[in-house]
Amino acid sequence: MRLVQYNELESLVGTEVGVSPWHQITQSQIDKFADATGDHQWIHVDVDRATKELGAPIAHGYLTLSLLPMLAAQLMRVEGVQRGINFGCNKVRFTNMVPVNSRVRLRQKCIAVEVRAGGKQVIMESTVEIEGKDRPACVAESIGILYG
């Protein structure tokens, strides 16, 4: 875990922040995400059919994206922050499928830090990698605003 002071965030620009530990995607997690979002497409939740036609059920792309806050929290802690908010993403691409029981991890590089709305807007290139695969599951420019 990388420790950074709020007043030193700008020093991260252009650097890799870190790589998270692996996180296994389970069918239970996929099913809960389907229930939470109402997206019950068979490729995600029909284990028998997805296994027969695709080799395994596939995690939702948005489930993969929703892991960013949890995985990012394992990379870096910023001291001197009163609060932080997710501000969104500039770009998101789902570049590979994530079969059930795959392990994923987050690799982040800081693209920019700018003063905004009384805080600091931090833009990260966030890449969700799949263990054993060359192509990542997701690449996004994620944006957070931290308030010191």
3-class DSSP string for 47-103: HHHHHHHHCCCECCHHHHHHCHHHHHCCCEEEECCCEEEEEEEEEEEECCCCECCCE
The answer on pLDDT for 90 being more than 90 is yes
Three-class DSSP category at 32: helix
pLDDT tens digits, residue range 12-67?
Answer: 999 999 999 999 999 999 999 999 999 999 999 999 999 999 999 999 999 999 99
Q: Rounded CA gap, 111 and 127, in Å?
A: 13
Residue 117 banded pLDDT, cuts 50, 70, 90: confident
Please state, rounded to an integer, the average pLDDT across all residues of the chain: 97
**Whole-prediction pTM value?**
0.95
- Domains of the chain with CATH codes: 2-24+61-147 (3.10.129.10)
